[in-house]
Amino acid sequence: MSLHVVDHALIRHKLTALRRRETQSAHFRRLLGEIGALLTMEALRALPESQQRIDTPLVAMVAPILAAPEPCLVAILRAGLGLLEGARTVLPDAPVGHVGLVRDETTLAASQYMLRLPPELSARGALLLDPMLATGGSAANAVRALRQAGTRDIRFACVVAAPEGVARMTAEFPDVPIYTAALDERLNEHGYIVPGLGDAGDRCFGTE
Ligand code: PRP
Ligand code: URA
């Protein structure tokens, strides 16, 4: 199974602040961005490299560079926008896509209301961003949309994952690695992750 629970003291520290009930929207968004940057670094740790001859101010040397253009960043709306802000500080030149998805509160099924993907997607691959992997319906819907757009090379980054969502994603898309800051205990009867951090979109945008 391709699940990576990122082992980083700073990520754990920031996630604890994110989980706190009293953390207000502006702070919540800032933390989400910071975690987004750290998760992006981790998810792209092993991108293929090549060597290039360069001149430093002192000498000539052969130094590593990325072998191919960096992957596209794709945010699942709305809460993925919080992660995207941080991811873009690390990859400022990456093309960006958006997948608008909302869960039905009763059935928990995700429905798509918007899709805008960069043309470079199939050539570059994608890092898909959403802070919450709960039932996995939203992530699965987004991966299907990316696949239909022609890319097989997809990584998924989230902040909190539930075992139910991980099971669904790894069964349906065993070739999509998942990078998460935490694997939580379970979903409650309303489909919320426990202990979780509540509704990420509402907390991010102050719509609670
Ligand atoms: C939340 C969250 C994820 C989704 C996860 O979005 O941001 O996208 O739920 O749940 P799932 O794994 O069960 O699909 P929501 O539908 O609340 O929309 P929002 O981000 O606009 O608030
Ligand atoms: N979406 C959220 O924002 N939070 C959860 O706990 C589950 C789905």
Atom of ligand 1 nearest to the CA of 205: 22
Mutate to test the pocket of ligand 2, among 164, 185, 193, 194 (most ligand atoms within 8 A of CB): 193
40 a catalytic residue: no
Q: Whose CA is nearest to atom 2 of ligand 2?
A: 199
pLDDT category at 1 given cuts 50, 70, 90 is: low
In the chain, where do the E strands start and end?
3-5, 49-55, 60-66, 72-77, 96-103, 110-116, 126-129, 132-133, 154-161, 178-183, 186-187, 193-194
The pLDDT of residue 208 is 80
Q: In 3D, which of 168, 126, 130 has the Cα closest to residue 147?
A: 126
How do residues 154-185 score in pLDDT, each as one tens digit?
Answer: 999 999 999 999 999 999 999 999 999 999 99
103 a catalytic residue: yes
Q: Is it the case that residue 144 has pLDDT exceeding 90?
A: yes
Residues 6+ apart with CB under 8 A from 15: 35, 159, 160, 181, 182, 197
**Under CATH, which number does the domain 3-205 receive?**
3.40.50.2020
> Quick one: how far is CA 36 from the chain centroid?
7
Return the DSSP state at 136.
S
